[in-house]
Structure 1
Amino acid sequence: MGEEVKKSEEKKEEEAKKPEEDKKGEGKEEKPSEEKKDDKKTEESKEPAPPDDIVLRVYMHCEGCARKVKRCLKGFEGVEDVQTDCKTHKVVVKGNNADPLKVLERVQRKIHKQVELLSPIPKPPAEDAKKKGEEDKENVKPEEKKEQPQVIIVVLKVHMHCEACAQEIRKRIQRMKGVEAADPDLKSSQVTVKGVFDPPKLVEFIYKRTGKHAELKLKS
């Protein structure tokens, strides 16, 4: 008898646990649906906002005037729907691609009455691009002027025993980058060099190219 009582109690405990587990499972299954709702909300928020309606003020004293306005805009470029209100003298034009200025001109030309545009005129993308371009130009900092390297003149003492030797040294020196002119003087064994260069490097260059030792005498 004692064993049967224990078994019956165990069965009752198992049956009591099952509903709790089922509830937990249901709770877990509900989470994906909540996530789907969140995804839908984000998708809806990503969708672009619908364009504003075009609102005009047109003097309409009867329904006949209102119908005339609707007829003149029926099938017009970008116009999808037209709503008129004779009491407030307002015309609401719906359409994603409707141009407010073209709609205004169309109504004025067809009904020969004073028409006023109440809704704001959208800015054309070209103007926005121009403004951005002007702002970018203003933000661009003027380029700093680089200091131009200073032209120097140096006098070198180089041993030259003949005119041919002097001309050869002149040709070799002029091959160095930055050298503008080289003027050898055979009598004084000096060479005047003009250009943008480093004098010690010039001395080294002469030795490498001619095998002659040059001594820096004057720099200006």
Structure 2
Amino acid sequence: MAAKKKNGGGNGNNKENEDSTITVVLKVEMHCDGCASKIIKHLRCFQGVETVKADSDAGKVTVTGKVDPTKVRDNLAEKIRKKVELVSPQPKKEQENEKENKDAKANNKSENNKTQDKKTKDKEVVTTAVLKLALHCQGCLDRIGKTVLKTKGVQEMAIDKEKEMVTVKGTMDVKALAENLMEKLRGGLRWFLQRKTRRWWW
């Protein structure tokens, strides 16, 4: 019977330690008392928090309550989008290592996405096409401009009315653009040059 009583007392002490009130000190940049007030208001809503004090001059926030220090830090950092440093109590190494691993994985994923985006952009080669067109009137100019600008990949367009030439720059399919213009202008396209490959079409 005595042994059972001793074990029961031990479990009770462990539970008491888990539920004990602790003091958490955070270091965070605060420009004014307004910043401090917002932080206090936010942390008071955090589960388990009993009291919150903020010193804007010292850049220090003190929280007391039955809370997890790392969760308080991370929650505040996410809210104010600033770096929040846990001064005390110091987190366990296992928790910090886990957080660092998660951050490293997130950074690697971000870098991989950037690399993939760069490869995609590299595949889209920018070319310049010069087209010789029969520009009879303003209606022709309007029709050409509308057709060219609707073409996927077109970035810039310039029309030289005197020389009857249209210069188009972008990642578009030049041959498809020329065929589309020939259809719209009923054969008004005489030739075009794709400067990237120096190839001519009539």
Bigger Rg over Cα: 1
Q: Taking structure 2 as the reference length, what is the TM-score of the superposition?
A: 0.33
Q: What TM-score does the superposition give when structure 1 sets the normalisation length?
A: 0.31
